[in-house]
Structure 1
Amino acid sequence: MYLHVQRLINEIEQDEPDPAAANALQEGLGGQFGEMRTMMQYLFQSINFRGPDAKPYRDLIQGIGTEEISHVELIGTTISRLLDGSPRYQGKKTDPVDAPGAGGAIPLNIALDHSNIHHYLVGAQGALPVDAAGNPWMGSYVYNSGNLVLDLLYNLMLESTGRLQKCRLYEMTDNKMARSTISYLIVRDQAHENAYARALETLGVNWNAALPIPKTNAESFPEVKRLIDMGLQSKQYSFDLDAQSEAGKIFQGMSPSKDGTKLNATEQAPDGAPLTISPERFEEFSPGADKDLQELIAATAAMEMADIDATFGRLG
């Protein structure tokens, strides 16, 4: 089972909306080497895993795949916030349109030349399961050979390519919202590189000679350096409520990154950051729940709570 904690895995810094940055970030979400790809690839590999004696490897892949679900949530939320209105917006949340729409101006004219128009036509200023060119994410991206060494090698290549692309994304924008998420994902990609590299080493695979990781010098980015100084590149979480994960049997010892740190798999999950719901976008004709619908939701919730109380007794 998977349980959801209503917190983001990392805090998104505040900054002005930036539709161009949002469109670039779509590659990191729905591109061939994006977060949707890693999430689905690792989950399918763990679901299809065979061989009880190799459980530590299954647990390692599954733990990383579970973390990737939170990365999809993080980068998707970042894209949505980057699209939240026009950079010129100075109006109130209750305004029927953004300030640029005052006096007969077109409120969504920014969609025509600053971004992916589908973010406005289809997504109501939200993330989409596409790459930066608007191509839809495809299940054929997923690699699951059934051979442990091949899968681990491919996963290492996937994380390495993803980190390389995110370093390029970092250089494409100076928006603090975008960079806070990009930097976090760069460092966590390195942690996952370390995980798959160590797993290959335990199987006798000389991965460094066969698959050298591109040197990105990402530690030169101040946001990345802060996270590396915290050792985030050398941690792997289990996301396991029952403490049955054996991934720590693999994710231990000195880091394959050769940065002098030790691998640590003792934490269940990071603390995370508050998750807030974005305000309505009236110019997108997506105002949320109207009064009648809110009353229906409240009545339905009351009925469900009454059923729970009758079955289990009053809670709290």
Structure 2
Amino acid sequence: MYLHVQQLIHDIAQDEPDPAAANALQEGLGGQFGEMRTMMQYLFQSMNFRGDPRSKPYKDLMQGIGTEEISHVELIGTTIARLTDGSPRYQGKQTDPLDAPAAGGATPLANALSEGNIHHYLVGAQGALPVYSAGNPWSGSYVYNSGNLVLDLLYNLMLESTGRLQKCRLYEMTSNATARSTISYLIVRDQAHENAYARALETLGVDWKKTLPIPKTNAERFPEVAALVEKGLQSVNYTFDLTGASEASKILRGPSPSNDGTELSVPRQAPEGGEPIVVAPPRFEEYAPGVDPELLELIAATAELEAAEVENTFEAVAKG
């Protein structure tokens, strides 16, 4: 089972809304090499894992990375929502022309017709969607799970390498600080997962460097990436296992396959996390959650009821 911490895995920088950047980020969310695909692929591989009990560290490695990918879906989806959030009557620069953010235009959703993906406004109420940048839905056919450990690890290494390559391209597409803060974090974490799968292959006697060249992106030239690499985040992995039963650390140790002078490690169960998750403000021009005062009162009452149920549940568990 999974437990959820009410924090994003990484802070999102503040900047102006940018619907075009949001649509580009949809590729990193719902594309063939995006976060929804890595999440589903690794979790299915771990659920379907077969083998000698001594091979459990490989299952645990896939499980831990797959669980982290859930938080990446949350991070990039929240980033997309913030980039689309902000119709003319709410956010933006006061010097923008009529019908631009904060200009008080008469047509609040006018930019939906000319920027980014219209479905962010027409279908998603200024939020992320399970699609890629062309607007087509994410597909479960992306998921690769052969049942053969070496094949799956090779495919996973290729998947992380291609994902990192695409995120470097995304970084070059926008100067928006909101987008770049998330893209940079994912670039570094993709490298961490590359290192993990590479090491796993090495322990199985696979000389992956001769068969699968890793693209040289030189992403460290991006200042946000360099700051995270300086902390060694590209060599750290997590178990996301509250019970301490994961054996992934048996694999994730020794010099990094990136040959950058760092050592692979599993220092703790999960990262410390970033900013708290908050409820986004209503967007009345989207009728989300709507302008009816009675409906808002009902939402508040329901929230209080659910909170009370959760409290009672934890009390019952504590009492045993």
1:186 Cα deviation after fit? 0.2
Aligned pairs for 1:117-128 (under 5 A) are: 117-128=118-129
Instruction: Name the structure 2 match of 1:27.
Output: 27
Which of 274, 280, 283 is matched with 2:282 structurally? 280
Instruction: Name the structure 2 match of 1:146.
Output: 147
Is the 1:100–1:107 Cα contact (8 Å) retained in structure 2? no
SS at match of 1:7: coil
Letter in 1 for 2:309: E
Instruction: Name the structure 1 match of 2:210.
Output: 209
Query: Structure 1 residues 40-49 or 51-60, which shifts more?
Result: 51-60
SS at match of 2:263: coil
Is the 1:100–1:106 Cα contact (8 Å) retained in structure 2? no
Instruction: Name the structure 1 match of 2:298.
Output: 293
1:268 Cα deviation after fit? 0.8
Report the CA distance shift for 1:84/1:265 in structure 2 as closer, same or farther (over 3 A).
same
CA distance, structure 1, for counterparts of residue 185 and residue 84 of structure 2: 20
Is the 2:29–2:73 Cα contact (8 Å) retained in structure 1? yes
Query: Structure 1 residues 293-302 or 258-267, which shifts more?
Result: 293-302
CA distance, structure 2, for counterparts of residue 258 and residue 305 of structure 1: 47
1:253 Cα deviation after fit? 0.2
Instruction: Name the structure 1 match of 2:3.
Output: 3
1:86 Cα deviation after fit? 3.8
CA distance, structure 2, for counterparts of residue 260 and residue 295 of structure 1: 53
**Which structure 1 segments of 5+ residues have no match?**
92-97
CA distance, structure 2, for counterparts of residue 130 and residue 224 of structure 1: 26
User: Aligned residue pairs: how many?
Assistant: 307
Aligned pairs for 1:1-316 (under 5 A) are: 1-51=1-51, 52-86=53-87, 89=92, 99-102=102-105, 105-273=106-274, 274-287=276-289, 290-294=295-299, 296-297=301-302, 300-301=305-306, 304=309, 308=313, 312=316
Report the CA distance shift for 1:305/1:48 in structure 2 as closer, same or farther (over 3 A).
closer
Letter in 2 for 1:10: H
1:303 Cα deviation after fit? 6.6
CA distance, structure 2, for counterparts of residue 153 and residue 9 of structure 1: 27
Is the 1:33–1:161 Cα contact (8 Å) retained in structure 2? yes
Aligned-residue RMSD, C-alpha = 2.2
1:278 Cα deviation after fit? 1.1
Letter in 2 for 1:39: M
SS at match of 1:155: helix
SS at match of 2:67: helix
Is the 1:8–1:74 Cα contact (8 Å) retained in structure 2? yes
Deviations 1:125-169 (A, max 9, x none): 000000000010000000000000000000000000000000000
1:292 Cα deviation after fit? 3.5
SS at match of 1:214: coil
Q: Name the % identity.
A: 72
Report the CA distance shift for 1:67/1:298 in structure 2 as closer, same or farther (over 3 A).
closer
1:275 Cα deviation after fit? 1.6
Deviations 1:228-281 (A, max 9, x none): 000000000010101111000001000000000000112111111122221111
Report the CA distance shift for 1:294/1:48 in structure 2 as closer, same or farther (over 3 A).
same
Is the 1:15–1:176 Cα contact (8 Å) retained in structure 2? yes
SS at match of 1:130: coil
Instruction: Name the structure 2 match of 1:94.
Output: none
Query: Structure 1 residues 225-234 or 300-309, which shifts more?
Result: 300-309
Is the 1:22–1:115 Cα contact (8 Å) retained in structure 2? yes
Letter in 1 for 2:197: Y
1:313 Cα deviation after fit? 9.7
Report the CA distance shift for 1:64/1:298 in structure 2 as closer, same or farther (over 3 A).
closer
Deviations 1:78-132 (A, max 9, x none): 00000111476469xxxxxx74454xx2110101111100000000000000000
- Provide TM-score, normalisation by structure 2: 0.90
SS at match of 2:4: coil
Letter in 2 for 1:292: E
- Provide TM-score, normalisation by structure 1: 0.92
Letter in 1 for 2:206: V
1:308 Cα deviation after fit? 4.9
CA distance, structure 2, for counterparts of residue 195 and residue 146 of structure 1: 19
